[in-house]
Amino acid sequence: MPAIAVIGGQWGDEGKGKVVDLLAEQANVVARFSGGNNAGHTVINQLGEFRMHLIPSGIFYPRCTCLIGNGVVIDPAAFLEEVENLKKHSISVSNLFISDRAHVIMPYHIILDGLEEKSRGKGAIGTTLKGIGPAFVDKIARMGIRICDLLDKENFRKRLSVVLEHKNNILVKLYGAAPLALDEVYQKYCKYAEQLSPFVRETDVLLRDALKRGEKVLLEGAQGTMLDLDFGTYPYVTSAAVGATSLSMGLGIGSMKINGIIAVFKAYTTRVGGGSFPTELLDECGSLIRERAHEYGTTTGRPRRCGWFDGVAARFSSEINGLTSAAITRFDILDNFPTIKVCTAYKVGRTTYHRPPANPALLEKCQPVYEELLGWECPTSDIRSLKKLPPQAQAYVKKLEELIGCPVSLVSVGPAREQTIMVRPIF
Ligand code: GDP
Ligand code: IMO
Ligand code: MG
């Protein structure tokens, strides 16, 4: 079973960083395949606490090769800052490589992200303002600049001058903003190119070679299925595929090479930014979860919206991704609740829905149908086996398994690596 993917099952921030850091101990390669530095993956281990945005969470194991695949959009400044931070902590980046085919986030992408959000007014998506959407738009529009373009100075200047003329027209004529100077952008990105060049490789070849050698490969997803461009709560989504469909596209390996897809789910639900969230708790209970779990964004610091576990979204996520197992995180956050609710269906009037409707206006009207379970009201952070969990907690794991529709492979009971109950082997 060499290639296993770890993806987000909900609206992001499920704890993918913690799970990947834990599983990477057994892996030879960890690869990112989608998103960009909109991701914020927290890793807490013996080396400290780290917030990873672009660099795979396997970087803490010296024998692990870390790849940033072609499907990721790369902000050079963000990447280099992350590299510097790791070096400061004496963490080697000698096994870190980025794809020559990955698209680059340019200054106009970041400016346009802000201007587009402002123009959406009340309908703002609540993006991370990192330029992710505009960079993916340019990729599809065949107007992107890739890492390989940056490395070819002469052609980069030619391409940038064409693209920048178009972007300046939009900035000035549509938004009344200041244009960007070609020379300034060119010089800045030529400097980045020099700093990035030692990391650049044909990462798809590296990955396929590792698979041929029978090495263990971990594929680290970003965002969450409900933020997927096709299957998420459109238009309140990110601008790329983030689920199982994006794996082979973002790495250059055949989908038949992927042996397992694990989605990470919090034991409840959170969401940052705009868009429908049927189980959102706007009362004290929601604030209680937020404060107990310190639910504030890893990338933007924004308070996360909190709610009960949404079984409708989770089952949908499980089905469209073809999950082989689920990892449950933040289990300990529910330790003090006398009762815990799970959403088993949505209702609009007399109509019951068992999957999230595509129409956002209808989804907005969906009311959760809850089942109430007894809480366990005792600490779980020091427990390391499923059998040692209190019966109510075991029943909750079983309920989540039933709702998601696939087996649970691990339960995380705290942010640290070792605060984990392994239920079944992953590799
Ligand atoms: P990611 O984007 O999916 O990697 O998730 P984030 O790192 O953005 O957010 C998850 C947060 O939950 C981080 O602060 C983690 O340290 C924390 N975390 C992960 N697993 C657990 C857990 O089982 N219990 C607790 N209390 N915190 C956890
Ligand atoms: P990780 O990998 C949570 C959300 C943003 C916004 C929407 C679009 O840490 O789970 P974008 O900047 O991508 O155009 O924003 O997507 N979003 C995330 N929410 N976790 C993430 O990543 C996210 N990445 C994007 O908040 O609602
Ligand atoms: Mg995150």
**Listed residues: CB within 5 A of ion ligand 3:** 13, 40, 298
Distance 357 CA to ligand 2 centre (A): 21
- Band (pLDDT 50/70/90 cuts) for residue 370 is very high
Q: Is the CB of 14 under 6 A from ligand 1?
A: yes
Distance 427 CA to ligand 1 centre (A): 22
Tell me which of 41, 53, 103, 109 is the catalytic residue.
41
| Cβ of 415 less than 6 Å from ligand 1 | yes
Q: Where are the alpha helices (DSSP H) in 89-227?
A: 107-120, 132-140, 147-150, 153-169, 182-196, 203-212
Q: How many CA atoms lie within 13 A of 193 on its CB side?
A: 21
At residue 207's C-alpha, the angle toward residues 206 and 210, to 5°, is 90
Ligand located closest to 295 CA: 1
Nearest atom, ligand 1, residue 264 CA: 3
| Residue 41 falls in the annotated catalytic set | yes
pLDDT one-digit tens code per residue, 98-153: 999 999 999 999 999 999 999 999 999 999 999 999 999 999 999 999 999 999 99
Residue in 6, 16, 18 to alter for ligand 1 test, most ligand atoms within 8 A of Cβ = 18
Ligand nearest to the CA of 240: 2
332 lines ligand 1 (CB under 6 A): yes
Q: Read off φ and ψ for residue 93, nearest 5 degrees.
A: -115, 20
Distance of CA 299 to the CA centre of its chain: 11
Residue 224 CB less than 6 A away from ligand 1:
no
User: What span, in angstroms and rounded, lies between the C-alpha atoms of 30 and 6?
Assistant: 10
Q: What percent of the chain has pLDDT over 90?
A: 96
What's the gap in Å between 367 CA and the centre of ligand 1?
Answer: 27
Which residue's CA lies nearest to atom 19 of ligand 2?
Answer: 12
Average pLDDT over residues 180-188: 98
Closest residue to atom 8 of ligand 1, CA basis: 13
Alpha-carbon gap, residue 110 to 15, rounded angstroms: 26
What ligand has the least distance to the C-alpha of 329? 1
pLDDT, tens digit, for every residue of 251-310?
999 999 999 999 999 999 999 999 999 999 999 999 999 999 999 987 788 899 999 999
Buried b (16+ CB within 10 A) or exposed e, 351-385: eebeebbeeeeebeebebbbeebebbeeebeebee
35 lines ligand 1 (CB under 6 A): no
Half-sphere exposure (CA, 13 Å, Cβ side) for 400?
Answer: 28
In this prediction the pTM is 0.97
Rounded CA-CA distance 402/373 in Å is 14
Nearby residues of 163 by Cβ (< 8 Å), 6 or more positions away: 106, 138, 143, 145
Pocket lining: 21 vs ligand 1, CB cutoff 6 Å: no
How many other C-beta atoms can be found within 10 angstroms of the C-beta atom of residue 174? 12
Q: Whose CA is nearest to atom 20 of ligand 1?
A: 415
For the stretch 327-346, pLDDT in tens is 999 999 999 999 999 999 99
Return the pLDDT at 154: 95
CA of 161 to the centre of ligand 1 (A): 42
Give me ligand 1 centre to Cα 184, in Å: 39
Q: How far is CA 32 from the centre of its chain?
A: 10
For residue 13, report the distance from its CA to the centre of ligand 3, in Å. 4
The number of the ligand 1 atom at minimal distance from the alpha carbon of 18 is 19
pLDDT confidence bin for 1, thresholds 50/70/90: low
For residue 51, give the 3-state DSSP assignment: strand
3-state helix, strand, coil in the chain (%, to 5): 40, 20, 40
- Active-site residue 13, yes or no? yes
Residues near ligand 2 (Cβ within 6 A)? 8, 12-13, 38-41, 125-128, 130, 132-133, 222-224, 227, 238-239, 272-273, 298
Residue nearest atom 17 in ligand 1 by C-alpha distance? 415
Over residues 378-400, mean pLDDT: 98
Question: 68 CA to middle of ligand 2, Å?
Answer: 18
From 41, 330, 423, give the residue whose CB has the most ligand 1 atoms within 8 Å, as the site to mutate: 330
Between CA 424 and CA 427 the distance in angstroms is: 10
Using DSSP bridges, classify how beta strands 41-45 and 48-52 pair: parallel, antiparallel or unpaired.
Answer: antiparallel
- Does residue 425 surpass a pLDDT of 60? yes
pLDDT for res 297: 87
| Residue % of the chain over a pLDDT of 70 | 100
State the pLDDT at residue 385: 97
Mean pLDDT over 190-219 rounds to 97
Predicted local confidence at residue 194, as pLDDT: 98
Mean pLDDT of 22-27: 96
CA distance 321 to 261: 8
